[in-house]
Amino acid sequence: MERTLLLVDDEEDIGAALSRLFRRDGYRILRACSGMEGMEILAQHEIDVIISDQRMPEMSGVEFLTQVKELYPQTIRIILSGYADLDSVIDAINRGAIYKFFIKPWDNEALRAEVLEAFRHHELAREKAHLVQEIQASNDLLAQVNLELAAAVEHKDSQIEHIAHYDSLTNLPNRLLFIDRLGQELARADRDNRLVAVLSVDLDRFKQVNDSFGHPVGDQLLQAAAGRLASHVRAGDTVARIAGNEFGVVLTGLKVAHDAGEAVQKILDSFAHNPISIGDSEIFVTLSVGICIYPFDGVDTTTLLKNADAALHHAKNEGRNNFQYYAGQMNASAWQRLKLETELRHALEREEFVLHYQPQINLDSGKIIGMEALLRWQSAERGLVAPGEFIPLLEETGLILPVGEWVLRAACKQARAWQLAGFVDIHIAVNLSTLQFRQPDFAGVVIGILKENGLDPALRTIELELTESLLMNNVAGTIDTLNKLHETGIQFSIDDFGTGYSSLSYLKRFPIGSLKIDQSFVRDLSSDHNDEAIVGAIIALGHSLGLSIIAEGVETTMQLDQLRKMGCDEIQGYLFSRPVPAGEMTQLLQSGCIPQLPLEA
């Protein structure tokens, strides 16, 4: 960068001499004859260093350089003065108007050295100013970045806070926030002497919606249900999604307990009478609701939530689409149920399940032609548990899937053992649940289990017992699965015929081989003309369609005689044998017939 020096002196020879002196150092030289002219040059050029004479007409050097300091403070100012003006020069130095002064006559080399130092000082000052400016700009940028970072962190913290406390699907408070708000409301209710209702809400049969329409529709249903629930509570109340299809509600400021029931009934009516529209479909959804009241049913969040859940289970047991208030005895039954479920989950891995077999007898020959495999639970803690106590829970919890597969595999294994022992003309009937039948490629699973146990499906060793309700669920899919299995030789029977849908059209649409008369019709066969008429109609209908008829629950000789007269093909019941372990069943097979079977007169 070129260095510019301004020389101000009213004497031409002194100005010329200074110009010659400093031109040797490569400076750009500008000259002025007075302070006024010097100010004009400063206005037009960027000047690094000024050397001014003190004594000049109109404006002294001190006055000139004082003005320069005010207008161009970065310019280095040097004055040349005689001793007579020394006091005013020193005063100017003290005020900062002058950087340095030289007494006339001056030493040329010393003056050159000082001017060079002045230029370096000016350049350092300019670099410093530039650095200060850059630092300030950096500080400003850093401050802006910090502000943006703080805003981003605050936004991210807000997002994390939302994710931690709100359900992502419904945008309702989650269980964590629900418990926190419930705690706050309990403290407020204690202070204001008011009641608080805690509701445990469940969407009835939500799993059926998921299975029938798919999970995306199930998610939309949850979102719509959440919105409808929220629309039925006040601003100070809380609706939260606790888990899956379960919601929690806190109703505040109640004066009496039945206020909660009135509010819940309005919610139940809204769901029961107004379908939820999803795409082109309208879905009716009902609710089961458990209610507990603070402080009557508990004074802390844990107790209230537990009791509301107990009340919810009671509502489900009462047929759903209703609400139930908590009652003290509910907790005991809920605890027992939970304990039973936990034990069931361990029963399979502990090999506590066993199969018992109840023989099926041909009425013409009196011989055992097959048997029904019946699941039993030999619990290490409870002993032999009645099927009615645990099978419904297997269905409800979904444990029926692994347990049902174990039943089929165990029955196939036993069937193979009896084949190897020479009993080749018998079949084993295995009950199927709706959940098992809905499994992907269920036909492939069944065929695979038969093959791994060395059973040829064409030999009809395994018969699958189906319920009417199972057949009528997803008819097209059911027909496809049944046909795949039937083509391999597997037989089917309808269990508990006459107690389900009883839509006769399915008898010609499905590959059914036999009908099983439910024991409820057999029980009063000898004394109830209606039961007699129903049994007769079932036998006649089955035979006209080429189906075999088996009656279950036969316990008396009178029932046996009547069934024989009515043309029933096979029978099963305690009159001949209770369900027995495989070892006892083997002994019965070895005997070839049931000794107790009365012969036809």
Look-up of token digits 């899919």: 477
Same-domain check for residues 106 and 190 = no
Same-domain check for residues 125 and 274 = no
Displacement of CA 297 from its chain's centroid (Å): 30
pLDDT higher than threshold 60 for residue 502: no
Same-domain check for residues 309 and 452 = no
Spell out the alpha helix ranges (H) of 214-282. Answer: 215-231, 258-273
- Residue 598 in domain: no
Give the structural domain span for 268.
Answer: 175-328
Closest CA to 449 of 458, 440, 460, 462: 462
Listed residues 328, 357, 378: the one ending a domain: 328
* DSSP-derived secondary structure letter, 598: P
- Residue 592 in domain: no
- Residue 265 in domain: yes
Listed residues 309, 328, 347: the one ending a domain: 328
532 exposure class (CB count in 10 Å sphere: 0-12, 13-18, 19+): middle
Same-domain check for residues 555 and 407 = yes
pLDDT reported for residue 473: 66
Same-domain check for residues 108 and 239 = no
pLDDT higher than threshold 80 for residue 563: yes
Do residues 54 and 77 lie in contact, with contact meaning Cβ atoms separated by under 8 Å?
A: no
Mean local confidence (pLDDT), 326-351: 77
The count of domains in the chain is: 3
122: amino acid identity, one letter: H
Mean local confidence (pLDDT), 129-138: 89
Q: What is the pLDDT of residues 236-272, one digit of tens each?
A: 899 999 999 999 999 998 888 888 888 999 999 999 8
- Residue 375 in domain: no
- Residue 591 in domain: no
Which pairing describes strands 570-572 and 491-497: parallel, antiparallel, or unpaired? unpaired
pLDDT reported for residue 595: 52
Same-domain check for residues 460 and 564 = yes
- Residue 392 in domain: no
pLDDT band at 95 (very low <50, low <70, confident <90, very high): confident
529 exposure class (CB count in 10 Å sphere: 0-12, 13-18, 19+): exposed
- Residue 209 in domain: yes
Same-domain check for residues 221 and 288 = yes
pLDDT higher than threshold 50 for residue 601: no
Report the CATH number at residue 517: 3.20.20.450
User: Which tokens sit at 34?
Assistant: 């007075």
- Residue 333 in domain: no
pLDDT higher than threshold 60 for residue 482: yes
Same-domain check for residues 264 and 405 = no
pLDDT reported for residue 329: 61
Answer with the residue of higher pLDDT: 212 or 365. 365
Report the CATH number at residue 13: 3.40.50.2300
Same-domain check for residues 305 and 243 = yes
Listed residues 76, 104, 130: the one ending a domain: 130
Report the CATH number at residue 234: 3.30.70.270
Same-domain check for residues 464 and 521 = yes
The C-alpha atoms of residue 411 and residue 208 are separated, in whole angstroms, by 29
pTM of the model: 0.54
